[in-house]
Structure 1
Amino acid sequence: MDNVEKIISGNVQLAEFWSNSHDWAPSNAAKLMSKSRLDWQVSLSHSLRKWSSLKENESGDLILAWVNLGVLVEGSMKLFVSVYLDDYSNDEDKYLNYKTNDQIDPDILAFEKLKQFFRKKKLVNEKWFSFLDRVQQRRNAIHAFKDRPIGTAYEFYEDVENYLGFLRDINCSLPYPDEMMRPTF
């Protein structure tokens, strides 16, 4: 799974850069990203290797593989919104706590809210939303009592490849102080 190695490389580079962005990123965004667990994105990327030989009759492993991929996708979306925290904070569509009316920061937003925000603000190409919906639905099969579609191992591998493309699109949409600093993977 060459795609997994590229995902690992990408998330390593993103974590190294964005977890130490105090010198140039807006202070609120740099503070949020420095406390975010971008290192877990890296670790979860390494975990994708465990699913390199899924068997169709091993539903539990396939569900866990989707959970692994879903958490990575959600984390990449959180990184994107966190980098643009000032824009999010000033946006009329930011999410607010209904009791306190305080802003809900991107590191707390659930997958569905992130997806809604991305769609409403057109933060990524429309082509990604079928991928995001599918990964979210299959990841939610972790709630095992209810019957849910989990797809196939082949579909999982296709969506690992899709995640690499999504991660690259996220990376290309992030601002860097110098183009030489932009991760390449």
Structure 2
Amino acid sequence: MTLQATILAILAIASPCLFAKTQTQDNTNNHQYTSVKILYATSTLTNCSFQYSPIDFCDAKHVEAYQDAIKNNSPNFNGHYILLIYPEFKNYHQRTVVAIDTQTGVVYPLPIDAFSGYMRGRRTAKDDGRITYSLDSNKVCISGAILVYRAFEEGNFCFDFVGDKFVGHHTDYMYP
């Protein structure tokens, strides 16, 4: 066997190992979902909604999204959290935001009903809003429109995750 044939044979045997895609982090270390925690006033019917909010963060579709995120994602926010952006009202480009603690399985909702792109005088947004965050920061910033208690506000909004809640831009849901 020539040198060239030997090299080709070695590459043929080793190539699946060399070029196989590997997962960068084993997500089985993430704690499974345990609960939703809201430290602001909550609905009298459930502790899983901000007071007067139509969003039930503990319903089946939300819990399924949390479980999928914990199973499939690595932390992407504030060290050991997964920031999950959930498509709440797809036809209106409105999405909710929660931080999931991968060490405890507790979910912390951002104190808004949803965010979307700018409305610019229209009844609905034509696109998704922009959200920025990072693994190395506790800050979440949204550029677009936020919906809180049936009212829209447009602009740039930043929230910091401190302790067990989001603080920063004040919304109507952020009172004791």
Counting strand residues as a fraction of each chain, which structure ranks higher?
2
Asked if TM exceeds 0.5, the reply is no
Counting helix residues as a fraction of each chain, which structure ranks higher?
1
Q: TM-score category by the smaller chain?
A: 0.3 to 0.5
Give the TM-score normalised by structure 2.
Answer: 0.33
* RCO comparison, higher one (Cα < 8 Å, 6+): 1
For the pair shown, which has the larger CA radius of gyration, 1 or 2? 2
Give the TM-score normalised by structure 1.
Answer: 0.32
